[in-house]
A and B are shown apart, each in its own frame.
Chain A
Amino acid sequence: MNKKGVSILVEYLILMSILTLFVIVMTLQLNHQLKEIQLGKVIENQFSDVSAEISSQIVDIASITPRNGYVSAKIYMPKSIGDREFYAGFRNVGNYTYIYIQSDDGKYEKYLGLGATILYFQTSGMTYSLSGNHSLEYTKRTVIYPSAVLIPKPSIVYVNASSPGEVVFDVSKSSAYGWWTWKIALWNGTEITGDMDDTTYTLSINWDPTEFSTFCNYDSVNLTAYCNVTLTVSDVIYHMNDTDTVELTITQNISSNPDIFIKKFVIPPQVSPGEPFEIHVYIQGKGFLTEGRGAKLSVVHVIDTSGSMNWETKYETFSGYITPSVWDVQLNVDSSFLGKPIWIQIYTTDSLSPWWDGLDKDDAIVARVEQADGDIWYANGELGSLNGRYFYDSYVSSSEIGIWNISVIASIPDKTIPLIIDVYRYDGYWNLVYTTSTSYTANYSTETIILPENYTRNDQYEYLVVKLSSPYYYDFNAWIEYSSVLDYCYDYWGYPTYCLEDPAPATTYTYYVVPYAFDASFYEGESSIQKLDSSRIAAITFNSMLESGDLVGLVDYSYYATKHPVNTSPYLTYLTSNTSAVDEEIKDLAPSGATNIYHALNQSKEVLLENTTIISGTIPLIILMSDGEPTWGSYAWDPSDPYNDPICDGSSYCSSGANRAIDEANTIKNTTIGGENITICTIAFGYDANTDFLQQIASKRSDGSKCFYTATNYQELVEAYRDISKTFRLSAKNVTITDVVPSGLEIVGTPSVTVTGNATAGTPVTYSTSQGTAVQVNISEVYINDEIELVFQAVAYKPGDYSLDVYGLSNVTYEPYPFTGDIQVYNLSVISGRVSTDEMAVVEIS
């Protein structure tokens, strides 16, 4: 029974196992068949989807391709299809490029042609379906080479042994693709760096013959060094560099000949076919203001002597910090003082001479008492018999018992004095219970004001005012010292620290600023002189810059104008080459009356037209300075009765007088002497000058700007005169720029020329030569510090490297100083440009 039972069970298990195995095998086979049938279709569809997705991305990217950048697009694909992983990428078959997808077992694959899109990019890369991310990246880089252009301003630097010279390195004409940085290497190895946000650098140069002889080409005879400065421009995208080297002239020799600085460059140095190069030829007049006059000047100073010219104008400003020297004493007010009066004397036994002579010497001391209960009192009582202050408290209360802090300052410069504190307690009599002393030296500051000699009659200025500004003047005392004079600066109509020297000799003044308050710190102030005195300095300074043979005259005006005889010649009365004669006349001018600008112009015209034969060949120039506006000189103005004008009131703007002045100015500007138009330069002096009117009567410069200046103080006025002087300093004459662009390049657009300064340039012309196309422009004269830039565009249509000029034909010819008629030729350096197609873009799958 048991044996039978076991046998049946074994038989059952065997049969079931065989049957189950058979069923599983058969089922798996069926499953495989069913799945493979479906999977093939699904893979086909999924591969189509992925390839279509990649293709769509490529087509879309192609519609927005960046010129220089990238497009990154995510690709979405299943990690597996059924149980199959796969690869996606690009594959070249024959001359065609396909998107290629293949299952990892190699059984399934899909190709999708990219068609004509591959004309515009190359393909690369592959991605595996199990990768975390898939992307398609299109990149295109167009290499643009940087261009380094270094322009030193000025290109010749004056440096003397005691003061450094300055040069501004201008790299703003450099260019590169994207962000760029620059580095300037000086002759001695020093490197200066910057980026495109900061394209100028001011370098201070000290005179160092040892350095110059080591690193530069040094001419020890003429004290001139020729030093190379190299600019390197680097772009941060391609890390490419370009360099430009210029020779900087550093000299102590102010009589070195003027010349011109010439530079040619191209922007950008690489373009695509059909894109234009912009070719620049830059000229800078170099030299110093004391040289380079091509023609003599006939200049008339027209100086306003109306009443307002007596007003003050700022001469100099100053500022500084001073921390007061404070003597601090702690006083123990114990219970013995309780309920009793206390008397504290703070004084000096010094005479305080000479600083406080004639003044209330008690005022020299400032004392502060802080009682134990925190109350603070200033010792305002004046001792009278002693030089100092006292503090008195009639009743010392219990809360005041303790330590008292006494602080003292003495306002006296340049002297050490004894300071004493005596403390009295009233014990039925004044009992001296405490005394202490110190040797005290005040902190103070000095400001120096120099009124120069030889600008005023007897070297006496009308007045000099020196004062501190509000609110600082409350915190200080001030003295002024010059020669043997020492003056305390009083409170003048609400202006403390106000010193007025009237008259003021031409000498050096020392202004002492001494703290008078515990919290004194910063101060600022200014000195002022008469406006007319400022004008004297400016006009005489201008005269000192005139060359031998220049003619100068003087007209001053208020109600009417006066032309000053300065020459004893029978041929010329109002102009002279003897500037001293004019200087002496300027020194005698005095302010009063109204402002008749019409008559001023009229008289200055008469000065220039007195003898046009003699002054022919000179540059006729009128420099009219005014601090106001036309208030006199209507059409009814009668020269025979110059103090009676029925229309103008002499104190406010008079339109009829102004119109008459404008008419006269136009007449003058249209008047020529020896072929030269008379130039009117105007200077608006002070804040009340009518700048619109003065600008209207000024002549136009060749660059379109008016020969008009504003000056609100003495320094600006001198600078205006100096600039006018500079206007007529020549670096070169008869300058001709000729640039020949070789065959293969075509000039496009209209060449143009820009002028900064006073140079007069003609219109550029273009013409054909056997060597190519020439662009030419004539510039009649280049003045010192003028900048002229010829710009034109050239285009090439075939890739390649092009020379952008023809050596020998591309040049600048000019008549150099001292203008003997000889012509100098400067051959433009050969520069090249590259015309290239864009580099092929790349599409990479990853």
Chain B
Amino acid sequence: MAGMNDRGQLIILFALIVSGIIVTLSVIYTQNILAGMESSRIIMVFPKEEIRNLRDIVEEDFIDSMGLKKDEFDEYTYNVSRDIRILYAQKGSYGDIAVFGSYPSALTSTVSYFNVRITYIGGGIEYNDTTLCRPEGCI
């Protein structure tokens, strides 16, 4: 009877220890399985195109519109900015291209250069670019 009791206690003891080992190894194994997830996710979710679209609007559309008179240009860019905010909000992010200064040309009274702030917030990324744009491009 005493011998039987001894074996039982040892079995229980070993079982507990082995269980602990298995649990520990399971956690580690799980971490191993998860390795690679973040880098993959980052590559997939980085909002490059969303940000590029904002920049393209500035560098192409806005610059193409510099032939407008200052008031017309300001109104146009304001409307675009408002629409952009709405469109990006519908996608769960914040996007804006705010022209906060435009200067008429001494030559033609059309816009000579303008200041614009491009902002994007979403997907763990915050982008902010304040540029001065001229017909030759933005700096």
The residue that B129 contacts in the complex, of A69, A268, A278, with Cβ under 8 A, is A69
Q: How far is the CA of A142 from the CA of B118 in the complex (A)?
A: 16
Query: Does B28 contact A178, Cβ atoms closer than 8 Å?
Result: no
Q: How far is the CB of A507 from chain B (nearest CB, A)?
A: 47
Query: Does A66 contact B127, Cβ atoms closer than 8 Å?
Result: yes
In the complex, whether A57 has a CB less than 8 A from a CB of chain B is: yes
Across-interface contacts of B124 in A (CB, < 8 A): 73-74
Query: Does B29 contact A178, Cβ atoms closer than 8 Å?
Result: no
In the complex, whether A251 has a CB less than 8 A from a CB of chain B is: no
The contact string, 1 if C-beta is below 8 Å from chain B, for chain A 171-189, is 0110101110000000000
Query: Does B39 contact A71, Cβ atoms closer than 8 Å?
Result: no
Q: How far is the CB of B79 from chain A (nearest CB, A)?
A: 19
Query: Does A276 contact B136, Cβ atoms closer than 8 Å?
Result: yes
The residue that B43 contacts in the complex, of A56, A74, A267, A754, with Cβ under 8 A, is A56
Least CB separation from A78: chain B residue:
B31
Q: How far is the CA of A627 from the CA of B61 in the complex (A)?
A: 47
Query: Does B36 contact A35, Cβ atoms closer than 8 Å?
Result: no
Give the interface segment out of A18-26, A400-408, A470-478, A490-498: A18-26
Query: Does B35 contact A178, Cβ atoms closer than 8 Å?
Result: no
Query: Does A791 contact B107, Cβ atoms closer than 8 Å?
Result: yes
In the complex, whether A271 has a CB less than 8 A from a CB of chain B is: yes
Q: How far is the CB of B21 from chain A (nearest CB, A)?
A: 5
The residue that B128 contacts in the complex, of A31, A70, A73, A82, with Cβ under 8 A, is A70
Q: How far is the CA of A412 from the CA of B134 in the complex (A)?
A: 68
Least CB separation from A66: chain B residue:
B129
Across-interface contacts of A12 in B (CB, < 8 A): 2
Least CB separation from B127: chain A residue:
A71
The contact string, 1 if C-beta is below 8 Å from chain B, for chain A 1-44, is 00000000000100010011001100100110011001101100
In the complex, whether B1 has a CB less than 8 A from a CB of chain A is: no
Least CB separation from B50: chain A residue:
A64
Query: Does A60 contact B46, Cβ atoms closer than 8 Å?
Result: yes
Least CB separation from B45: chain A residue:
A60
List residues of A (33-90) whose CB comes within 8 Å of B's CBs: 34-35, 38-39, 41-42, 45-46, 48-50, 52-53, 55-57, 60, 63-64, 66-74, 76-78, 81-82
Query: Does B51 contact A31, Cβ atoms closer than 8 Å?
Result: no
The majority secondary structure among interface residues of chain A is mixed
Q: How far is the CA of A237 from the CA of B131 in the complex (A)?
A: 12
Whether A144 touches B35, Cβ cut-off 8 Å, given contacts A16-B6, A20-B13, A82-B28, is no
Query: Does B24 contact A42, Cβ atoms closer than 8 Å?
Result: no
Query: Does A53 contact B38, Cβ atoms closer than 8 Å?
Result: yes
Q: How far is the CA of A82 from the CA of B30 in the complex (A)?
A: 10
Q: How far is the CA of A465 from the CA of B2 in the complex (A)?
A: 134
In the complex, whether B115 has a CB less than 8 A from a CB of chain A is: yes
Query: Does B17 contact A27, Cβ atoms closer than 8 Å?
Result: yes
Query: Does B127 contact A69, Cβ atoms closer than 8 Å?
Result: yes
Q: How far is the CA of A754 from the CA of B112 in the complex (A)?
A: 14
Across-interface contacts of A271 in B (CB, < 8 A): 139
Query: Does B112 contact A19, Cβ atoms closer than 8 Å?
Result: no
In the complex, whether A752 has a CB less than 8 A from a CB of chain B is: yes
Across-interface contacts of B32 in A (CB, < 8 A): 38, 41-42, 45-46
The contact string, 1 if C-beta is below 8 Å from chain A, for chain B 1-27, is 010001001100110011011001101
Q: How far is the CB of A308 from chain B (nearest CB, A)?
A: 37
Query: Does B130 contact A53, Cβ atoms closer than 8 Å?
Result: no
Least CB separation from A195: chain B residue:
B101
Query: Does B127 contact A35, Cβ atoms closer than 8 Å?
Result: no
In the complex, whether B87 has a CB less than 8 A from a CB of chain A is: no
In the complex, whether B85 has a CB less than 8 A from a CB of chain A is: no
In the complex, whether B103 has a CB less than 8 A from a CB of chain A is: yes
Q: How far is the CA of A175 from the CA of B115 in the complex (A)?
A: 10
List residues of A (257-272) whose CB comes within 8 Å of B's CBs: 267-268, 271-272
Task: Please count how many residues in chain B sit with their CB below 8 Å of the partner chain's CB atoms.
Answer: 56
Q: How far is the CA of A77 from the CA of B37 in the complex (A)?
A: 10
The contact string, 1 if C-beta is below 8 Å from chain A, for chain B 101-139, is 101011110001101011000001111111110101011
Q: How far is the CA of A108 from the CA of B25 in the complex (A)?
A: 19
Query: Does A46 contact B31, Cβ atoms closer than 8 Å?
Result: yes
Query: Does B29 contact A142, Cβ atoms closer than 8 Å?
Result: no
Q: How far is the CA of A268 from the CA of B103 in the complex (A)?
A: 12
Q: How far is the CB of B61 from chain A (nearest CB, A)?
A: 17
Q: How far is the CA of A390 from the CA of B46 in the complex (A)?
A: 90
Across-interface contacts of A53 in B (CB, < 8 A): 38-39, 42
In the complex, whether A506 has a CB less than 8 A from a CB of chain B is: no
In the complex, whether B76 has a CB less than 8 A from a CB of chain A is: no
Query: Does B130 contact A278, Cβ atoms closer than 8 Å?
Result: no
In the complex, whether B91 has a CB less than 8 A from a CB of chain A is: no
Query: Does A179 contact B101, Cβ atoms closer than 8 Å?
Result: yes
Q: How far is the CB of B65 from chain A (nearest CB, A)?
A: 19
Query: Does B125 contact A73, Cβ atoms closer than 8 Å?
Result: yes
Query: Does B106 contact A60, Cβ atoms closer than 8 Å?
Result: no
Q: How far is the CA of A754 from the CA of B32 in the complex (A)?
A: 71
Most B Cβ at <10 Å: residue of A69, A144, A237, A280: A69
Q: How far is the CB of A182 from chain B (nearest CB, A)?
A: 13
Query: Does A81 contact B31, Cβ atoms closer than 8 Å?
Result: yes
The residue that B132 contacts in the complex, of A46, A55, A177, with Cβ under 8 A, is A177
Q: How far is the CA of A633 from the CA of B126 in the complex (A)?
A: 74
In the complex, whether A275 has a CB less than 8 A from a CB of chain B is: yes
Q: How far is the CA of A268 from the CA of B138 in the complex (A)?
A: 13
The residue that B21 contacts in the complex, of A24, A34, A77, A237, with Cβ under 8 A, is A34
In the complex, whether A196 has a CB less than 8 A from a CB of chain B is: yes
In the complex, whether A547 has a CB less than 8 A from a CB of chain B is: no
Query: Does B28 contact A68, Cβ atoms closer than 8 Å?
Result: no
**A to B CB contacts below 8 Å, 20 in the list:** A16-B6, A23-B13, A23-B17, A24-B17, A42-B28, A42-B29, A46-B32, A46-B35, A50-B38, A60-B46, A74-B124, A74-B125, A76-B38, A82-B28, A178-B100, A178-B115, A179-B101, A179-B115, A754-B106, A789-B106
Q: Apart from A27-B14, A68-B139, list 15 A-B contacts with CB within 8 A.
A: A16-B6, A35-B25, A38-B32, A46-B35, A48-B35, A55-B39, A64-B55, A70-B126, A73-B124, A73-B126, A76-B42, A144-B139, A177-B115, A179-B101, A268-B113
Binding site for B on A (CB under 8 A): 12, 16, 19-20, 23-24, 27, 30-31, 34-35, 38-39, 41-42, 45-46, 48-50, 52-53, 55-57, 60, 63-64, 66-74, 76-78, 81-82, 142, 144, 172-173, 175, 177-179, 196, 237, 267-268, 271-272, 275-276, 278, 280, 752, 754, 789, 791
Closest 7 pairs between A and B when the two form their complex, measured CB to CB: A66-B129, A45-B35, A52-B39, A69-B129, A74-B124, A60-B46, A72-B126
